[in-house]
A and B are shown apart, each in its own frame.
Chain A
Amino acid sequence: MLLAIDTSTPNAGVLLWDDDRPVYSHTWRSAYNHTAHLMPAVRQALQQAGTTPRELEGIAVALGPGGFSALRVGISAAKGLALPWGTPLVGISTLETEAYPYAETGFPVCPLLNIGRRDMAWTIYRKDADGWRKVKDETITANADLATTLPTDALICGEGTLTAAPLLQASNPQSHQAPPHSSPSVIPAPLSRHSRESGNPLPNPPFPHIIEYPGPSLRLWALARLASDRLERGESDDANSLQPLYLRKPSITPPNPPKRVRR
């Protein structure tokens, strides 16, 4: 059995995965209280499944990007559960877990996550002939610049859309020039593979296509699914060195002195 822990955002979750499917899933709103909420939730999950930390075959943890303190709580807990018994530990990018539920659409998928200070982290994943993969480096964009920065040919998804969708819809500069049916619209989630197989293209780029946020349980499922696949391939991470994905550039170095202007 695999235990998946996600404390990337104010929404936290714990899931147990057995026999290639979820057997227990619980998400809750933790705001700033992940420290107090996480371990009781893990205990509850293990009790429910009649198992113990020692018996776990793997531990999956969401690496962020997300909340600074929240991520530390989840990753520390995952390490603490993995180290004593040498349980294999797998860290997965939370952006990937937000994007993965839409892999089968075949469209580029652009997951968004709030990282505080009115900034958004995002990237692009895609499933094509080469498989499921990230096709763009993770990027940080100020919320105010999202409307002019995000791709217009991708499905935009993830918890960050709660912040971004109103901004995109209000300030997409082209929207007023377009017919109403192609203005930025909220596509119900999850967009099924049917739309691709039936040959329905996305409605008229270049407008953002935002997937309504379906809550934290989908990405929790994706975390377990992706981690389970990695474990099956014999891959795992080093519990001593696994780090959160904060993405912020000068995370521990002081800012550079102002550049001199040469004349």
Chain B
Amino acid sequence: MPPELRITSRSADDTHAIGRIIGAHARPGDLFLLTGPLGAGKTCLTQGIAWGLGVKGRPRSPTFVLLARYQGRLTIHHADLFRIEGTADALTLGLEDCLNDDDVCIVEWADRAPELFVEPALSVEMDHHPDDNDTRAITLRTDHPRYQPILDALAARES
């Protein structure tokens, strides 16, 4: 059973703060796979991760350019597969340039091409709360111990 952590965000600021914790603990070669419906906060979380990695400015979702790059403490590749139709389409993006030992890669709508990612990843599933408009349920899963410090830091925040 892979480690799993369920946390709650009560606002966009909260999601930013969660992202900052992930970014602060991110290491070279990390891969974050973000899933969830429109408006669940994937881009919001990405902004927090980027800020936690020291990026200045406000990353936006690369829905149309498909791939954006930011420089913080590490180079961050930000991909958005929303407009991607299947794995074959995603292969034309050049994600192999992004998945390496030096950089951090964040992929929104990663479930559009699930076969594509064989590297150890931290999956972040985001969803609306059925009763509360501002609240998001966030589930983090990983099959690799390299992400344990991030899970620990997020768990500490919850308690």
Contact = CB atoms under 8 A, between A and B. Distances in A.
| Most-contacted residue by chain A among B96, B101, B119 (CB, 10 A) | B96
Contact of B96 (A32, A72, A117, A254): A117
A255 B69 CA distance: 27
Q: Is the interface of A mostly helix, strand, loop or mixed?
A: loop
Given A117-B119, A118-B119, A252 B91 contact: yes
B86 interface: yes
| Most-contacted residue by chain B among A72, A116, A251 (CB, 10 A) | A116
B69 A116 contact: no
Given A32-B69, A68-B94, A117 B88 contact: no
Nearest to B113: A254
A43 interface: no
A248 B96 contact: yes
A69 interface: yes
The size bracket of the interface on B is 10 to 19
B87 interface: yes
Contact of B100 (A72, A116, A253, A255): A116
Interface residues of A, number: 21
A255 B87 contact: yes
Nearest to A119: B96
Interface of A: 31-32, 67-70, 72, 114-119, 163, 248, 250-255
Interface of B: 69, 75, 86-88, 91-92, 94-101, 115, 119
